[in-house]
Structure formats: C-alpha cells, structure tokens
Structure 1
Amino acid sequence: MKKTFVLDTSVLLEDPNALYQFQDNEIIIPIVVLEELDGKKRLENQLGRNARQVSRELDKLRERGDLQTGVTLEGGGCIKVEINHKHLTAVKEYFPQVTNDNRILAVAFNLMEERKNQEDAEKVILVSKDILVRVKAHALGIIAQDYMAGRMVPKREYYQGYITLEVPSSLINDIYSHGKINLPEEYFELYDFYPHEFIILKDQEGGSQSAVTYYEYDTMALRLMPFPTQDVWGIHPRNLQQKMAIELLLNEDIPLVTLTGKAGTGKTLLALAAGLYKTEDLNVYKKLLVAKPIVPMGKDIGYLPGDKDQKLKPWIQPIYDNLEYIFGDYKGGAGDILVGLRKIAIEPLTFIRGRSIPQQFIIIDEAQNLTKHEIKTIISRVGEGSKVVLIGDPEQIDNPYLDSCNNGLTYVVEKLKEYPEAGHVTFTKGERSRLAQLAADVL
C-alpha cells in the first residue's frame, strides 16, 4: 500500500537525493521547508551545498510539471510542495508557539486528520532527523520515522577489521609449521572474509593455542602475521590492534587505511610514527601531510588573530602533542620540530577541493566529523603513489548533523571493506592512561 511521506528540512540537508529515495510513494514538502532551505543556501559549507542542490533538483522537477498539484517521479512516486494545511489551529492546542517545526507538524497532522475517515487512504508518515520533532509528532498521534537511507549499518554490525574463529588445533599447528594455510570450504560458507582482514584463530577445544593471521584475498588463504619486532620511530605497539594497525600503515600496497576507536587508543600516534618512518627514513613518500576538519567541540571561540598557521594552532594542537611525544626529550616545541622536518605539513581541509596530492602520506584526523561528500572529496584528491589514513571515533562527533551511523568515516569503512585498496582496524583498548580508559568506557 502506498504511503505519504512528509519530509522535514533536516532530511534534505543531509541527503539532497532523498527526493528520490521513497520509491512509488507520495512525497510532501511543506512550504516552510523551502523557506528554511533558502536560509541555508548561502552557507559556505556542506549544508549550504546541499541546500543549493535541493533547490536545483526542485527546479528541474518544476520544469516537468506543477509542484503544487504533484510531479510524477521516474520511480512511480509523486512529489508535491504543500502550501495548504499551514493553519496551526489543531497543533496550537498542544504546541502554542509558532515555529517552523510546528508548521511542519501541522502539515502532517492536518493531512492525517483529513484522510482518517477515508477508505484505503494513504498512511501519513513524518520523516525527520530531528529527534524532538519525531517525539512531538508521536505525541500528536503522527507516525514519525528517522531518515535511514544515509545510514550504513547498525552500530553492532560495524566492520572491525578482524574476527575470531574457533578452529581445530591441527589448523593452528599447520599455520605455524607452514606459515600459510587454506581454510576448509565450510568456513567460507559461514563467514564473509574481506581483503586485509585479520583472522584470530583459537583452539575450539579450549586449549591455549592461538594464532593471528592475515587474509590474502587473491589466494583466499591465511598467512601467519609477522608482527614488527622493532619500534617505529620510537613507538612500539602495545596491544594486538595496534600491531594490526602498524601492519596496514606500513604496507605500501594498501593506499587507504581507516582506524577507528575510542579516545586514547593510539590511532593518531601510530599513524604519525608510520608516516614519519615512510617519509623521513625510507623516502617512500615526498611529504607527510596531516589535516583535520575545523569543527569545534562546544561553543565556537570565534575569529582568531594572526596568519594561517597561528589561526590553525588551537585546532591542530593534538597533532603537536603527538609529535612532541614521539620526539621524547627534545627540548624545543612542536613548531621547531616542523621547521627541522621540512617534509611535514599540517594544513586545514578547507582548501583541499581542486588539489591533486601525489606521493604523500596523508593523515586525516577526526574524520568522523566529515560528511560522506567531504570524505569523497578528500579521497578523490589522492594522487598516484599516495597513501591516505582516516582516523576518528564515530562515538565522538561534534558535527550536529552527523551521528555514529551516517558520518563519512563509517561510510568509507563499510563501503570499501570489500576492496583490496582499503584496510581497517577498530581499536578497543586505551593506552593513554587508566583514567582516560575509564572515562572512555564509563562516562
């Protein structure tokens, strides 16, 4: 049975293609949504770009028919801009304040009331990314849903980059004897294995034997993991996930590595150490480029004085902190370190559009604050011979329009896990301090 979906502004600001995601159902866009889009279109960020794209899409649809009466979409559905039902009489009884959210609620409520006595009437559903709008809709008896098309997978199904298999002890003995084994076919029927995934083998009979292996996607075999025995620029991996990450970071055949995990798990530190090793010691890459999105936690501190480097310093201080840790007893500050190592560049992401970045080791910190479009823009800038490392914690997002399931970092991890160009590790154990680990787990 067909349905009528009333779209909130937040849906279109997240995904301009939402206009075409409701198959053969009717889509209602309240006129107040167009007013809100008009107020966002001048913003010089992703919200502004999305508002402008929605405007262009609606203009194309307008050329095909009258949006007031409805324009048929290619999928069989219909889209309509609703200029009626804007009276707030019924809604004012519960929400007396005249706000844009309440005007959108009024459209959905009045449509629902108008059709409730009709036979085979289309069900009215309000779609919004705003939790409180959905709660208010529920209070009015309106069916309300989150917009899920932009989400990848539920949190519990995140790709970790490694799995644990219980196998006969004979298989573990074989891999230590030969360094490589072919898994029996039965395991491929039970599990999906991805390129560069780590497979932890444990004795199914409860013995203490175990082995950490690496899945070779081209031969469909498991190779015993030869973990690094020496430090990388003075940094030694402290746990299994850090060892896995070092393997991916140092592998020049993997141009994209994603590292996710809670604060204090060592993601940025390991990436910087690997980048310094590859650029300064081995000269594999011409430059180590470190960047992060300029998204504040809490209230923005406003305009900052000085040139570009001075303005950026508060945002990139965590990078400096990690560099100072790597350099240990070096008496100078991080700025002196950068002067001495001319192959390191720390830049904002603001001006990356239009660039081509070949032969560089690129680290993007706090990537969970980037949208899918921004992540695509960054990766598409990567030139021949470069490696890009995306780092972040999907549970610590400062961008008000993103969450743990629809941010750009989660999107990349899930979309590229099947491709040999990408590798991923999820960190779980904090190494900053016991207090930091406690805060990450409990608070």
Structure 2
Amino acid sequence: METIYVLDTNVLLQDPYSLYAFKDNQVVIPAIVLEETDAKKKFPDEIGVHARTIARILDGLRKRGKLHDNILLDNGGTLRVELNHRSLNTLNQFFLEPTNDNRIIAVALNLMLEEQEKEEGRRVVLVSKDAMVRIKADVVGVVAEDFLNDRVIESDDMYRGFSEVYLDNQHIQSFYQEGSLSVALLDEDFYPNEAVIVKAQENPSGSSLGRLDSTASFIVPFSKQTDSVWGIRPRNVQQTMALELLLSEDVPLVTLTGQAGTGKTLLALAAGLLQTEEMRRFKKLLVARPIVPVGKDIGYLPGEKEEKLKPWMQPILDNLEHLFSVKKREELDRILAGLGSIEVEALSYIRGRSLPEQFIIIDEAQNLTKHEVKTILTRVGEGSKIILMGDTEQIDHPYLDPYNNGLTYVVEKFKDQPLSGHIRLLKGERSELARISAQLL
C-alpha cells in the first residue's frame, strides 16, 4: 500500500534530490517548508546552494501541473505541496507554541488522522533529520523516521584500511625472500594499498608489516622510510601504516581516521615537511581545515585575515611548534616566513583554486559534506598529494553524522581505487589521560 511521506525542511536542505528517494509513494512538502527554504536561499554556503537547487527542482515540476495537486515524479511516485491540514488544534493539548517544527508535525498528524478515518487509509510517516522533531512526532502518535538515504554505511563497519593474515612457514619464507606474496595463494579479498599484518601460524606473537600493491594482487613488505620522519617516530603499528601511505609516491589520496590524540595531524605534517622541505617532491605544503565552531560560535573576530584565522588554525600551529621545536609563536612565525613553502589556510579559500605539485592536508574533514569533499578533491592538480583526516565520532556540523559525512564518503567510495589508501588509527598517543578520556567520554 502507498505510504505518505511528509518531509521536514532539513531533509531537503541536506539532499535537494531527496524527494525522489521514496519510490512509488507520495511525498508531501508542507507549505511552511517552502517558507523555511526560501529564508535560506541567499546563504553563501552549501545550505544556500541546496535551497536554490530545491527551488529550481520545484519550479521545473510546475510544468507538469499544479504543485498543490499530485504531480507524477520520474520514479513513479507523486509530489504535492500541502496547503491544508495546517490546523494546530490537534497539537494544542501537547505543544502550545506555533513554531515551524510544530506546524510540520501538525500537517503529518492531521494527514494521519484523516487517513485513519478511511477504510483503507494510507500510512503517514514524517521524515526529519532533527531528533527532537522525531521525538515530538512520536509523542503525538505520528510515525517518524530519519532520512537514511544519504548514509554511506549502515553501521559502524567503516573500512579500517588494514587486516591480519596468518601464513605457514613456506609462505612466510617466500614473502621475505622474494619480496612479495601472491594474493591468489590466500583465501581472502583485499583492497589496493591495504596494510597487512603478516603473522606466522606457528608463532602468532611475531609479525611483520606488508601492503597490497595498487592492483591488490601482491603483498609487498613495508619500506624502511617510516622509521623516523622529521624527528617523529611511529609509536604503534597503525602510525607506521599511516606513514607508509603518507610517504608513498604512488598514493596521491590518503585518508586517516581516529579519535583525538591518535597522531593524525602530527604524522601528516611531519610527512609533508619531509617531502616538501627535504625531498623536494612538492613545491608547497598546504594545510587547511573547515571553520566549524565547537559549541557556541564566538562571532566576528577583529583584525586582518591572518588574525581572524589564528583561533581556528591553532591546532595546526601547535603541531608545527612541536615539529620545529620552538617554544614561542614568534619563533614559529619567523620560520614559516623564512621557508615560504608552508601555507596554513581556511578551507573557505580553497574553492576555485587549482593546486598542482602540493602536499595538501585537510584537517577535520569529518565536518565536510559530500559536496564539499568533491569540490576539494577536484581542486587537486597534477603532481599533488592530498590527505583527508578527522574523527568521525566528533562531528560539529548540524546535518552530518558518522554515516553520511564527507570523510566517511571518501573512505568508502575510494577504498577499491589504486590511487588511494586509508588507515584507521586506534591508539591514542597524546597522553594517558587523553587516551582514557577519548574512550570513556
């Protein structure tokens, strides 16, 4: 039986094409959703882009008929803008305030009550990205669901970038003597550039590290270049794996995930400095991060661009102070000015640029949307290497979660591509307190 899906504003602002995601059912857009969307259309960010996209889609659908009637969609479903069923009388005994959220819930509730009076009434579902809207809808008896079509993964099973293999002595010997081992000899599937912990079946306590080649056909030993990078030595096996990818010339895209304190930023900066300043593989080291506040926004900041950006770029500068062994910010500023090849930038200024022969680090990438990471990756020029990293459990963007953010999107979409590699860092190394806090809190 056909289902009626009532869409909240945040669903359309998250994905303007979401109205096509409900197959051959009926999609209802409350009139107040148009008002809320219209208020966002002049925003300069992605929300504004999506609001304008929604307007264009609905304007195009007007050619098929009146929007307040059922318009047939290409996927077999129907769409209508709901002008009736707006009365708040059914909600007044529960929620008194005539807020926009309550108006949307009222439309869904009134439609549900109307369908219940019919002999073969249809099911009514309110779809919202706002947990409180779903909770309030549930309180008044309306079925409410999150919009899950934008999820890249369904659960906490994101690709981690490494696996373990147990080999007999014959294969272990072949691996060391010949410098490779054919995957055809193993009853397992691997991804290109996936890291492998090689263990002997007779002595599992001993192990060595290998990596799949770009074709995922052979396991090859790690290089020795990860022992020390710009004075930084890896403290655990995942950090060694990360450095192997960060220093590999044949892997232009590297993604790193992990909790706070696992060393993502420090390792990426160390690898970038080595390859930019010493090895001269790249002409510039560019470090950028999105400006998304944690907690309440501090508002406008005084000064020129560099002064405004300092609070947002502080974590990057802290790591650079450690790598250059300086104690005062003035010393670091002199070093960076003298080198001239290190640029710390807000991600807002990346759009429209072309970035050839650069080592590019994008920090806090979990706060990026799918569209934003696409914009960034399409800026990467010839001879460049880009690192996307972040903690998918610490997301400050209001419409993103661990399953639909841009970093997760790139990890999952690129895991079978020969030009990319990924490592999930597991162990915190900042301090014992930081490690335990990340686990317990």
Q: TM-score range by the shorter chain?
A: over 0.9
Among 255, 269, 281, the residue aligned to 1:284: 281
Give the letter aligned to residue 289 of structure 1.
Answer: L
Give how far 1:222 is off: 1.3
CA distance, structure 1, for counterparts of residue 361 and residue 139 of structure 2: 46
Q: Report the equivalent of 2:359.
A: 361
Task: Name the counterpart of 1:49.
Answer: 49
Could you give the per-residue CA deviations for residues 392-425 of structure 1, whole angstroms, max 9, x where no partner exists?
Answer: 1111111122111111111111111111121111
Within a 5 Å distance, the mapping from 1:257-406 to structure 2 comes to: 257-329=254-326, 332-406=330-404
- Once the two structures are overlaid, the 10-residue window that deviates more, 136-145 or 323-332, is 323-332
- 1:89 Cα deviation (Å)? 1.1
The corresponding residue for 1:181 is 181
User: Is residue 228–residue 243 contact of structure 1 (8 Å, CA) maintained in 2?
Assistant: no
Give the gaps of 5 or more residues in structure 2.
none
1:250 counterpart residue number: 247
Check conservation: 1:246, 1:270, Cα contact below 8 A: yes
TM-score (norm 2): 0.96
1:224 corresponds to which residue? Answer: 221
How far is 1:32 from its partner?
A: 0.7
Q: How far does residue 114 in structure 1 lie from its aligned partner after superposition?
A: 0.8
For 2:45 and 2:193, how far apart are their aligned partners in 1?
35
Structure-2 residue corresponding to 1:93? 93
Aligned pair partner of 1:408 in 406, 409, 417? 406
State the 1:306 CA deviation.
1.3
Which residue identity lines up with residue 356 of structure 2 in the other structure?
Answer: P
Aligned match for 2:416, one of 418, 423, 428: 418
Aligned to 1:27: 27
- Please state whether the residue corresponding to 1:252 is helix, strand or coil: coil
For 1:165 and 1:93, the matched residues in 2 are separated by 62
Q: How does 1:187-206 map to 2 (within 5 A)?
A: 187-188=187-188, 192-204=189-201
Identity %: 53
- 1:113–1:169 CA distance, 2 compared to 1 (3 A): farther
CA contact (8 A) 1:194 1:417 kept: yes
1:225-257 C-alpha deviation (Å, 9 max, x unpaired): 234354211111111111111111111211111
Q: CA offset at residue 165 of structure 1?
A: 3.0
* Map 1:109-188 → 2, pairs under 5 A: 109-184=109-184, 187-188=187-188
Please give the alpha-carbon distance, in whole angstroms, between the structure 2 residues aligned to 1:187 and 1:217: 19
Alpha carbons 2:283, 2:358 under 8 Å: kept = yes
User: Higher mean Cα deviation, 76-85 or 173-182?
Assistant: 173-182
* TM-score where L is the length of structure 1: 0.95
What value does the CA root-mean-square deviation take over the aligned residues? 1.7
3-state SS of paired residue (1:258): strand
The amino acid of 1:355's aligned partner reads R
Q: Secondary structure at the match of 2:91?
A: helix
Task: Give the match for residue 16 of structure 2.
Answer: 16
Q: Which amino acid aligns with 1:34?
A: L
Contiguous gaps of at least 5 residues in structure 1: none
